[in-house]
Structure 1
Amino acid sequence: MPVDADALPETAAPSPPPGLVTVGRFDERPGYGVVRPGGADSWLFTWTTGGAGQVRQGVTGVRAGAGDLVVLGPGVPHRYAVAPGAPRWTFWWAHCQARPAWTHWLRPHLLGDPPDRLYAVTPVPAAVRDRLEHAFRRMLADARWTGEGAPAAGEPEEPEAGRVAVAHGTAARELALCSLESAVLLATATATAAVRGGTGRCGVDPRIRRAEARIAADPGAPHTVATLAADVSLSASRFAHLFTRQLGQSPMRALLAARLLHAARLLEATDLPVERVAAAAGFASPFHFSRVFRQRYGAPPGAYRAGLRS
């Protein structure tokens, strides 16, 4: 539930420079708190493993308990501290630039109204919390990789409180982001999604979540509003209305975003010609694919791939 966080301490703290990937694990006692009147230049992800924290961004606040993933978007004043009455707050945190897909996964967990960008993913089922813990440990280990030799293998050890790592090299940074991406995906895919607004809270219809999962699992399939609606036993008009209201975008816009993300990953990981990437991602016209890809990623597909490899 949103909470009033006016009593948080007023100790200002700088945020890591944009572009860096920074990760750490803290175990703090009452009196600990951070305030950033101008917000941060990057996203802040916090994963609470013990005790409780109190987090506020703009006018929106939340109490973070064990198992809660709380995310703060950049550019909005925020503050966080050990929650009143809590004996401690043990949590992982990471500062980085979020990948485009993450905001789509987080959208159902947005608290409050814009311009606040506070997301609370709760409750994350206990069955996947070990996976999230592993993901953050792996992120810390990969962020410390210098690029010489092989990155650490095996199960990452539990770090002592206060350990912080900054991923300086490109490979270390991308490996760390992959671990964080798995944590965000696991949390958002398994948590009980909720849409919170100024008038209250309502659960996202499980049929809409199933349709969203179907799009994400196979974005290149010939999905239409009619086929997605039929898969979840809804009329096309009712399905489109529910999907747009509860997820903040139309089914076809969500499908386009999923297809573009899939295409970007194919460009990153394969040597397939652009025409085959377009077809695999569900685009009938390579020209249309190139146009919308450039609108989304700022470069045509071929230049996007070349830029990554250079």
Structure 2
Amino acid sequence: MANSLYNPADIPESPPPSGVLVPGYFRKSQSYVTHRSKGTNDWLLTFTLSGQGAFYLEDQVETCEHGDVIMLSPGTPHHYVTSGNIWEFMWVHFVPQPEWAPWFQTVYVNRALIKTHVTDVSVQQRLRAAFQRLIGDCEGFGVHRQALAMNAMEEILLVLTQRIESENRGVDPRIDEVLHHLANHFAEPLTIDELAALTRLSPSRLSHLFKAQVGESIIDTLIQLRLRHAARLLARTTERIVDIAALVGFQSPYYFSRKFHSQYGLSPSEYRKQHGK
């Protein structure tokens, strides 16, 4: 995995072994350009933080801006450049692990270039943090640095795979953004107007589109997320029920108990008796 022992621009006669990781961070000016007439023998993934870049394939041009992720498959001839004043991006050359094959091949094989735009700020932050861990572990020391770096790489790919699978199923990216926001902020006092502002849709349009694609209203989905987390807390902690209600976002313990019973057929105390550890 050491950077000094592997050059992704080289095209060896046989593929490099799985587990190879060569990550980095660039902030490049207008003069930056990289040519690869034969492509590489590994996968290349880039995540643009700011500015603008562009990838040129034989019959395709893809620009990338803040939030864009581009992945190139092995053997894809290409070159890429800074197309604005600057291009700030994180990148990694990698060879997939064998255990990634079941989910990796369903999304990425037989495609020279894959592009997705990550709009959700929390997902952007997660990708950036995973990249930072990946780069730090690859450049650092320690017996377990390779395993730690591979965990970060796997997290990046799983987050992207989940997003691309949603796109392939026809889920509107704005609805996907709302779902991610609900999952990460379910305990907060959210409103339809605030969620609509994230997607630049009107509250009524967002509500209609969400119900059409998810099958439930935004409020019902939010309540489901809160109740699911409450059930975990009831089963695994000794927190008071009134405190759990507040922790997951319910202002009224009575309303929480009523909704919980409607969902699970048990009161919170009965659920704890049956499922608590």
TM-score by length of 2: 0.50
| 1:1-310 → structure 2 map (5 Å cutoff) | 14-15=9-10, 18-19=16-17, 20-83=20-83, 86-99=84-97, 101=100, 104=103, 117-147=112-142, 171-190=144-163, 193-194=166-167, 204-206=169-171
Q: What SS does structure 1 have at the residue aligned with 2:63? A: strand
Determine which structure has the larger helix proportion and give its number.
Answer: 2
In structure 2, C-alpha distance between the alignment counterparts of 1:187 and 1:122, rounded to whole Å? 10
**1:83-121 C-alpha deviation (Å, 9 max, x unpaired):** 2xx1110000111102353784585578xxx5x511112
Structure 1: how far apart are the matches of 2:68 and 2:40?
21
> For the aligned residues, what is the CA RMSD?
3.2
Q: Distance in 2 between matches of 1:15 and 1:124?
A: 34
Contact 1:51 1:88 in 2 (8 A): yes
Cα contact 1:121–1:188 (8 A) shared by 2: no
CA displacement, residues 131-183 of structure 1 (integer Å, 9 cap, x when unaligned):
111000000111123335xxxxxxxxxxxxxxxxxxxxxx4333212102111
**Distance of 2:11 and 2:149 partners within structure 1:** 16
1:23, 1:92 within 8 Å by CA — same for their partners in 2? yes
Following superposition, the deviation at residue 23 of structure 1 comes to 0.8
Conserved in 2, the CA contact under 8 Å of 1:28 and 1:89?
yes
Q: In 2, distance between residues paired with 1:66 and 1:106?
A: 27
4+ long deviations beyond 6 Å: none
- Tell me, in whole angstroms, the C-alpha distance in 1 between the residues paired with 2:129 and 2:138: 14
Please say if residues 51 and 65 of structure 1, whose CA atoms lie closer than 8 Å, have aligned partners that are also in contact: yes
8 Å CA contact retained: 1:76, 1:117: yes
CA contact (8 A) 2:54 2:82 kept: yes
What one-letter code is carried by the residue in structure 2 that aligns with 1:120? K
Larger Rg: 2
Q: CA deviation at 1:127?
A: 2.2
Summarize the Cα distance change of 1:51–1:109 in structure 2 as closer, same or farther, 3 Å threshold: farther
Map Cα deviations across residues 13-52 of structure 1 (whole Å, 9 max, x no partner): 9358734311110000112010111110111110110111
Count, aligned residues: 162
Alpha-carbon spacing, 1:14–1:80, altered in 2? closer, same or farther (3 Å): same
Letter of the 1:205 partner, please give it.
G
Mind listing any 5+ residue stretches in structure 1 that lack a counterpart? Answer: 1-12, 149-170, 196-203, 211-231, 234-310
Instruction: Find the aligned partners of 1:144 and 1:31 in 2 and give their Cα distance.
Output: 27
How far 1:124 moved relative to its partner?
4.2
The CA distance in 1 between the partners of 2:60 and 2:145, in whole Å, is 34
Q: Which runs of 5+ in 2 are unaligned?
A: 1-7, 177-213, 216-277
* Secondary structure in structure 2 of the residue aligned to 1:134: helix
Tell me how far apart the structure 1 counterparts of residues 79 and 106 of structure 2 sit (CA, whole Å).
21
